[in-house]
Each structure stands twice: as structure tokens, then as C-alpha cells.
């Protein structure tokens, strides 16, 4: 088979186009790649206990009925696990509650926890446990940012029903830098 200059030019053009396309695809992937989510280095679990008020969140299916006063209360149990009581007010002004349990993953100061709201008898099933990662925490334990490895869920919580606007803005700036989509974030009514 004879290679004419025209065929060689077409092959070279096709090869160049493939290389350019591959380079473009790799660049797009690298641009959209997000670094793995990091947690804070350690958490003093007894200090973390108590009531936290929701300041903002990514909307999710299990909080659809919540319209205000969303809060989480954590209580350390004798076995080292944490009782979780999530509550909020519905549009009818009634309190809605969900009782769960959390356990630390990786040691007594780990910022990675697993939480479940399914009944105890289902606790052997891995999928009933959700990730609860503390990714930012005020040194005085006055606010916290919680998410999970895929960044599908996100909460900003505070010891008080409201945070100063400057603090919220600092947290939003950090979240944007960490690859969170701030367009999804909803500010929670007090």
C-alpha cells in the first residue's frame, strides 16, 4: 500500500486532533478534580457535647420538613458513643425529632465519626451509618463545619442561633477554597 502525501497529512492531522482532544480532556478533569476532604487534626469530644444550632446547610431529604430552630444535641454515653438528638420546627410549629448514635472512627480525638438513625438491630449494616466529618472547628468550640468525603452534605453549626456575619463570610471563603459549591448552601432560619 502506497502512502501518498495526502494520506500522510490526513493521518498527521487526525493524530494531532486526538492528542489535542486528550490534552483538553485531561486539563478539564484536573480543573474539576477536588482535593480529598481534610478534617481538623483533633476533637475534644467531651467539649464538643451540648447543643449546636444550624446556621446553614446543603438541602437534604431528611430535613425537608424543617423550617426553623434546627439544632443538634450531643451527649456522651458511658460506652464512649455519642447520643445524637436532632430537632427542628415544622411549618405547623411542631417539634420534629430524630434520635441517633455516633461513634468515632480512628481514635479518641478523631474528627471522623459515623452516625446512624436506624434502629439498633440494623447497626450491623454498613449503609445505615453515615460519615460525619468535622472539617473546621472554632478553637473555643463556638462554631463547627461538618461534611463528609464526597461533599454531598454540609452543615455550619453554632452554639448560638446566629453567628456574626464576618464569621460566616470567613467560613464561606474557606468552604469555597475547599471545593464546596456555595450556590447549594442555604442559610437556616433561627
Structure confidence by residue, pLDDT tens digits, 74-109: 999 999 999 999 999 999 999 999 999 999 999 999
3-state secondary structure of 142: coil
Strand partners, 113: 104, 132
What is d(CA 164, CA 12) in angstroms, rounded to the nearest whole number? Answer: 61
Percent above pLDDT 70 for the chain: 83
> Mean pLDDT, to the nearest integer, of 133-154?
98
* Per-residue confidence band for 119, with pLDDT thresholds at 50, 70 and 90: confident
Confidence of residue 190 (pLDDT cuts 50, 70, 90): confident
pLDDT-based confidence at residue 21 (cuts at 50, 70, 90): very low
Q: Residue 94's pLDDT is what?
A: 96
Q: Has residue 9 got a pLDDT over 50?
A: no
Fold of 45-187: Lipocalin (2.40.128)
| pLDDT at res. 4 | 56
Beta-bridged to residue 161, according to DSSP, are none
Strand partners, 144: 137, 157
Sketch the domain layout of the chain as residue ranges: 1-33, 45-187
- Alpha-carbon gap, residue 105 to 134, rounded angstroms: 12
Confidence of residue 124 (pLDDT cuts 50, 70, 90): confident
Average pLDDT over residues 145-169: 97
Three cell numbers, residue 173? 471563603
Map grid coordinates 417539634 to a residue. Answer: 95
HSE of 67, CA atoms in CB hemisphere, 13 A: 8
Classify the C-alpha dihedral 131-137-142-143 as positive or negative. Answer: negative
Rounded to whole angstroms, what are the CA distances from 7 to 16, 21, 73, 145?
Answer: 14, 21, 72, 60
Q: Where are the alpha helices (DSSP H) in the chain?
A: 5-32, 45-48, 165-177
Q: What is the pLDDT of residues 43-69, one digit of tens each?
A: 999 999 999 999 999 999 999 999 999
DSSP state of 166: H
**Average pLDDT of span 161-168:** 97
Amino acid at each position: 500500500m502506497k502512502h501518498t502525501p495526502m494520506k500522510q497529512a490526513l493521518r498527521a492531522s487526525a493524530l494531532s486532533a486526538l492528542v489535542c482532544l486528550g490534552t483538553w480532556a485531561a486539563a478539564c478533569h484536573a480543573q474539576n478534580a477536588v482535593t480529598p476532604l481534610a478534617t481538623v487534626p483533633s476533637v475534644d469530644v467531651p467539649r464538643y457535647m451540648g447543643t449546636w444550632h444550624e446556621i446553614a446547610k446543603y438541602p437534604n431529604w431528611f430535613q425537608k420538613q424543617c423550617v426553623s430552630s434546627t439544632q443538634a444535641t450531643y451527649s456522651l454515653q458511658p460506652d464512649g458513643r455519642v447520643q445524637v438528638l436532632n430537632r427542628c420546627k415544622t411549618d405547623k410549629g411542631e417539634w420534629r425529632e430524630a434520635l441517633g448514635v455516633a461513634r468515632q472512627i480512628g481514635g479518641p480525638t478523631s474528627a471522623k465519626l459515623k452516625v446512624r438513625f436506624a434502629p439498633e438491630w440494623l447497626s450491623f449494616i454498613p449503609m445505615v451509618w453515615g460519615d460525619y466529618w468535622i472539617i473546621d472547628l472554632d478553637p473555643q468550640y463556638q462554631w463547627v463545619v461538618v461534611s463528609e468525603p464526597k461533599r454531598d452534605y454540609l452543615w455550619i453549626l453554632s452554639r448560638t442561633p446566629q453567628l456574626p456575619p464576618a464569621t460566616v463570610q470567613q467560613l464561606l471563603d474557606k468552604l469555597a477554597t475547599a471545593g464546596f459549591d456555595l450556590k447549594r448552601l442555604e442559610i437556616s432560619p433561627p
